[in-house]
Amino acid sequence: MDIRNSIKNIISNPVGFLLHNSGIKQTIAKNTFWLALAEGITRFLKLFLIIYVARILGVTEYGKFTFALAFVTLFAIFSDFGISRITIREFSRGKEKEKEFPFLLSLKILLGIGTLFLILIVSFFITLDPVIRGVIWILGIYTIITSFSSIIYAFFQARQKMEYEAWGLIIQAIIVTGAGFFVLFNFPSVKNLSLSYLFASLITLIFILFLFNFKIYKLKLSFNKKIWQNYLAISWPLALIGVFSAIYNQTDSIMMGYWGQITETGWYNAAYKIMGVTLIPAGLIGASFYPVLSKLFKESKEKLQNAWNYYMDATIFLTIPLVIGGIALAPRIIDFVYDPRYNPSILAFQILIITGGIMILSNPFNTTLVIWNYQRKVFWVVLSGAIVNVVLNLILIPQYSLYGAAFTTLITVFLIFFLSLRLTLKLTSIKPLNWKSFLTFINSLIASIPMYFVIIRPSVYNANVFLSVFLGIITYGIFFFIFKTIIGKLKLCKNSI
């Protein structure tokens, strides 16, 4: 009945359904829709752009760009310091906290200026190439501007008004794609490409500030050291989590670039970019559930557990076919997206798609620990992962290059998943290892078997990649819901005996 009523509500009042919050399920569905729309459009446009960047500029020049972007991303977390995530958590629990927002805006500006100076200074030590250094400076400014936008998006998420965030993301993607293609076809260079990213971020920030000021909250800046200290005292574990997460996500590219493996960096990031696209659905689900779970934490432990179960089931439903299908179709995907020059990316992508699956499964546990205010515990988990990552990269990259980097990332992510699961079991009332999630896992695994045999058939495998993926999704969906129906009937029979 819930599904039928939801469909009726969408048909009878689509504007109300997509712009107003009227219940937990509807709010999650509405926010997921807007984030899915934004992520779908932005990821598609940016992937489309990156494909042409990789083809037109070539592996080595593309490697320079990804090296510079990885470097500035490593420092970007200092411009946020975990403030945005804490803002979502605190503001979603009560509107009275919103009066502190002007103080957070001023804090973000100060953090951004400090981070930019740090990027400029360290850039002189990371590379002797003046072109790469110039790209780092441009992308550094772009990253700081994008990070400042995140505090506005955090306010939108706290109010569960993701439609505003969606429009900001879509506009930025359209501008960066348009400007990027203009540069590629008229003035192709990594420096000019970086300038197109900077231009897009500036225009988007102006739009977001205008929208926020007139539709949500009057913009103003205020300074209060006590409030800054309060938020920083809560957020510093998240900031360090971000730092060490960036280390195990970006240090491989930085190490390869520092050691002169620029071409290998291009191959590795070609695989990493596609893996990142596969994480979109999980990111959308997580962003929609986070404010809801934060709110239910104070209201009802029973409702919180039920909402978390939905979160975990959705995560499992996505992860299993993603990993199996990604491994099977890896050669076709790399060949379709890039060209034969990127064939060395295939094995790296197969390793990274497993990594992506484990990352998706880790998200519910990390979210739970943050909601329970155990971000300091999460910090130690991520720190452990970062240390292991750096050590293994130092050992494996010199000998195995991008494949050593991919395998290191896999080991790191698995360690973080194991430790996060253990802490969730030990420190929270959430019961992650329940019968419902186990059945979803088995159901998903069984449904993936016919999907696998469908997509490896020569007639499907050698077809257009989008068609192969589409047929795989359809096959998986049909068998998943068939097995789910069978399991449901078996439960009814068992209960009637």
pLDDT tens-digit readout, 421-452: 999 888 888 887 777 788 888 899 999 999 99
The pLDDT confidence band at residue 7, using thresholds 50, 70 and 90, is very low
The mean per-residue pLDDT over the stretch 308-332 comes to 90
Q: Is residue 215 part of a domain?
A: yes
Q: Is residue 211 part of a domain?
A: yes
Q: Is residue 497 part of a domain?
A: no
The mean per-residue pLDDT over the stretch 279-289 comes to 72
pLDDT beyond 90 at 347 = yes
Q: Is 457 helix (H, G, I), strand (E, B) or coil?
A: coil
Q: What is the pLDDT of residue 496?
A: 43
Q: Is 267 helix (H, G, I), strand (E, B) or coil?
A: helix
- Predicted TM-score (pTM) of this structure: 0.67
Q: Is 429 helix (H, G, I), strand (E, B) or coil?
A: coil
Q: What is the pLDDT of residue 382?
A: 82
Higher pLDDT, 75 or 389: 389
Structure confidence by residue, pLDDT tens digits, 457-492: 999 999 888 899 999 999 999 999 888 887 666 554
Structure-token pair, residue 270: 């070609």
Distance CA(171)–CA(203), nearest Å, equals: 9
Structure-token pair, residue 168: 């900001």
Q: Is 189 helix (H, G, I), strand (E, B) or coil?
A: coil
DSSP single-letter state for residue 339: -
Structure-token pair, residue 432: 């992650």
The pLDDT confidence band at residue 395, using thresholds 50, 70 and 90, is very high
Structure confidence by residue, pLDDT tens digits, 185-239: 888 888 898 898 898 888 888 888 887 888 777 777 778 788 888 877 777 776 6
Q: Is residue 90 part of a domain?
A: yes
The number of domains in the chain is 1
Q: What is the pLDDT of residue 324?
A: 94
Q: Is residue 108 part of a domain?
A: yes
Q: Is residue 271 part of a domain?
A: yes
What's the chain's average pLDDT?
81
The mean per-residue pLDDT over the stretch 117-121 comes to 89
pLDDT beyond 60 at 11 = no
pLDDT beyond 70 at 282 = yes
The pLDDT confidence band at residue 25, using thresholds 50, 70 and 90, is low
Q: Which of 241, 293, 253, 283 shows the shortest CA–CA distance to 416?
A: 241
Distance CA(378)–CA(301), nearest Å, equals: 21
Q: What is the pLDDT of residue 355?
A: 92
What's the CA angle centered on 465, arms 463 and 471, to 5 degrees? 80
Phi, psi dihedral angles at 365 (to 5 degrees): -75, -40
Distance CA(443)–CA(253), nearest Å, equals: 37
Distance CA(23)–CA(25), nearest Å, equals: 6
> Domain span at residue 359?
19-433
Q: What is the pLDDT of residue 497?
A: 45
The pLDDT confidence band at residue 298, using thresholds 50, 70 and 90, is confident
Q: Is residue 3 part of a domain?
A: no
Answer whether 66's CB lies under 8 Å from 186's CB.
Answer: no
Q: Which of 174, 211, 166 shows the shortest CA–CA distance to 196?
A: 174
Answer whether 68's CB lies under 8 Å from 136's CB.
Answer: yes
Answer whether 454's CB lies under 8 Å from 475's CB.
Answer: yes
Q: Is residue 112 part of a domain?
A: yes
Q: What is the pLDDT of residue 478?
A: 92
Structure confidence by residue, pLDDT tens digits, 361-380: 988 888 888 888 887 788 78
